[in-house]
Amino acid sequence: MSAIGMLDLRAEYAELRPAIDQAVQRVLASGQFILGPEGAALEAEIAALTGAAQAVAVASGTDALHLALRAAGIGPGDEVVLPAFTFIATAEAVSYTGARPVFADIDPATFNATAATLESALTPATRAAIVVHLYGQCAEMPEIARLCEARGLTLIEDCAQAIGADYDGRAAGAWGAYGCFSFYPTKNLGAYGDAGLVTVRSADDAARLRMLRHHGSGRTYEHEFVGYNSRLDELQAAILRAKLPHLARFNEARRRVAARYRKGLAGCDVLLPTEHGRGKHVYHQFTVRSAQRDALRAALGSAEIASGVYYPIPVHRQPAYADEHGACVLPASDAAAASVLSLPIHPYLREADIERVCAVLRDAKT
Ligand SMILES: *Cc1c(COP(=O)(O)O)cnc(C)c1O
């Protein structure tokens, strides 16, 4: 029996190879590698996909968050509220600006922050909220958008795990002032290196982000402010464009794997992920909960089945943040970190593989 990985990027390349190789050759032959037609076309295609007015491609998802915060004018003296149960990059982006991250708890059922958990972390210094659509399911966006509107907060979406997801038919990335995407290789739409993108509502915001990613420059060698080098290169843009037409099919395949897991794990002593039913979950991860998480993980490992813990330590308890934030009381984030277990999920996972994973979890002596 062969090992089962979390992901199979080699199978994806094997399927898409003609289109991807052609895209790479097209860029190599063009002699244009930074800020060219591929990046511009990708921006238009992702704007169309999400229903955003414009999109600006940047070097990574972390940079997308950082530059969005800068475009919103967030800086020293400001506070930005965000969930503690996320990848650390969400908080780092706030720290880079000189603003202070303030951690909110999550809804234990969906793993996402809610309007209520975000609201309880607000202070007079709060200027923005970052909501994370964790594991591929959107947070409750109408309520969160209303809260931000009422309190005058800039709403930023961390869509790194949720490309193609929606809430009430409105796409992830179309709710906030900024929608921040990552195309890290393992995301639902992955480049062959680092890549990211910000969706925006206005031409002004797009122009500001284009300058921020390019040394504060709008015109060649004129620099209006100190910016960054955070452009997406043409090779990554062309590869992403070759993959983008398959994203909807890949997300549907992930949803089928999830449905199959639900059947195979019924009666098994794990809590299955909750779908709130208000929009499409794109299952970046299929994450179960169990008090015996570590034992289950060991059983899977013995059967050569990969699994993941996203994330074992909430951000407020990470050494990088614990000195200042470790005393925060965020019980649902702590409970999630202690119990979550993500199972292999990707478009190439076979029926027999899914059944093998389920069988190991059913038979595990916990
Ligand atoms: C991947 C990820 C990021 C960071 O994206 P990079 O492209 O790796 O910089 C930020 N937030 C979340 C929730 C992520 O999953």
Asked whether residue 128 falls in the same domain as residue 68, the answer is yes
Give the Å distance between the CA of 220 and the centre of ligand 1.
31
Which residue has the CA at smallest separation from atom 6 of ligand 1?
61
280-291 b/e with 16+ CB inside 10 Å = b?
bbbbbbbbbbbe
**CATH code (residue 359):** 3.90.1150.10
Atom of ligand 1 at shortest range from CA of 161: 15
CB 200 within 8 A of CB 216: no
Atom of ligand 1 at shortest range from CA of 187: 1
Please give the pLDDT value at position 1. 73
Give the Å distance between the CA of 62 and the centre of ligand 1.
6
DSSP 233: B
52-to-157, 200, 267, 350 alpha-carbon distances in Å: 13, 6, 42, 35
Give the Å distance between the CA of 158 and the centre of ligand 1.
8
Give the Å distance between the CA of 184 and the centre of ligand 1.
7
Asked whether residue 253 falls in the same domain as residue 324, the answer is yes
Asked whether residue 208 falls in the same domain as residue 353, the answer is no
Q: Read off the pLDDT of residues 148-163 as tens digits, 9 standing for 90 and up.
A: 999 999 999 999 999 9
Residue 335 lies in a domain: yes
27-to-30, 65, 114 alpha-carbon distances in Å: 5, 27, 43
Q: Which amino acid is at 48?
A: A
Question: Which residues are near ligand 1 (CB < 6 Å)?
Answer: 60-62, 86-87, 89-90, 132, 158, 160-161, 182, 184, 194, 196
Asked whether residue 237 falls in the same domain as residue 95, the answer is yes
Residue 1 lies in a domain: no
Number of domains in the chain: 2
Q: Read off the pLDDT of residues 238-286 as tens digits, 9 standing for 90 and up.
A: 999 999 999 999 999 999 999 999 999 998 999 999 999 999 999 999 9
Separation between Cα atoms, residue 17 and residue 26, nearest integer Å = 14
Q: Which residues contact 129 (CB under 8 A, 6 or more apart)?
A: 80, 81, 82, 118, 144, 147, 148, 153, 154, 155, 156
Instruction: Return the best residue to mutate from 65, 87, 178, 310 for the ligand 1 pocket (most ligand atoms within 8 A of CB).
Output: 87
CB 82 within 8 A of CB 132: yes
Q: Is 0.95 surpassed by the pTM of this model?
A: yes
Asked whether residue 231 falls in the same domain as residue 329, the answer is no
Asked whether residue 240 falls in the same domain as residue 251, the answer is no
Q: Which amino acid is at 300?
A: L
Apex 244 CA angle, 206 and 191, nearest 5: 80
Atom of ligand 1 at shortest range from CA of 89: 10
Asked whether residue 273 falls in the same domain as residue 215, the answer is no
Asked whether residue 253 falls in the same domain as residue 161, the answer is no
Average pLDDT value for the chain: 97
Atom of ligand 1 at shortest range from CA of 134: 13
Q: Which residues contact 169 (CB under 8 A, 6 or more apart)?
A: 279
Q: What range does the domain containing 130 cover?
A: 9-245
What's the rounded mean pLDDT across residues 195-219?
97
Please give the pLDDT value at position 206. 98
Separation between Cα atoms, residue 166 and residue 27, nearest integer Å = 32
Q: 223 phi and psi, to 5 degrees?
A: -120, 110
CB 172 within 8 A of CB 133: yes
Percent of the chain with pLDDT over 90: 97
Separation between Cα atoms, residue 292 and residue 295, nearest integer Å = 5
Q: Read off the pLDDT of residues 299-319 as tens digits, 9 standing for 90 and up.
A: 999 999 999 999 999 999 999
Instruction: Return the best residue to mutate from 63, 96, 130, 161 for the ligand 1 pocket (most ligand atoms within 8 A of CB).
Output: 161
pLDDT at 366 over 90: no
Give the Å distance between the CA of 284 and the centre of ligand 1.
12
Separation between Cα atoms, residue 171 and residue 159, nearest integer Å = 10
Asked whether residue 235 falls in the same domain as residue 273, the answer is no
Q: Read off the pLDDT of residues 7-30 as tens digits, 9 standing for 90 and up.
A: 999 999 999 999 999 999 999 999
**CATH code (residue 137):** 3.40.640.10
What's the rounded mean pLDDT across residues 335-363?
97
Please give the pLDDT value at position 267. 85
Residue 209 lies in a domain: yes
Which residue has the CA at smallest separation from atom 14 of ligand 1?
160
Asked whether residue 78 falls in the same domain as residue 111, the answer is yes
Tell me the two tokens of residue 48. 């169309």
Give the Å distance between the CA of 346 and the centre of ligand 1.
18
**Which regions of 117-214 does DSSP assign to beta strands (E)?**
126-132, 154-158, 166-167, 170-171, 178-182, 196-200
What's the rounded mean pLDDT across residues 335-346?
98
What's the rounded mean pLDDT across residues 35-63?
98
CA nearest to 58, candidates 277, 216, 229, 178: 229
CB 69 within 8 A of CB 99: yes
pLDDT at 365 over 90: no
Residue 185 lies in a domain: yes
Tell me the two tokens of residue 272. 């299955």
Last residue of a domain, one of 217, 245, 273: 245
Give the Å distance between the CA of 89 and the centre of ligand 1.
6
- pLDDT band, residue 230 (cuts 50/70/90): very high
Asked whether residue 53 falls in the same domain as residue 180, the answer is yes
Separation between Cα atoms, residue 302 and residue 309, nearest integer Å = 17
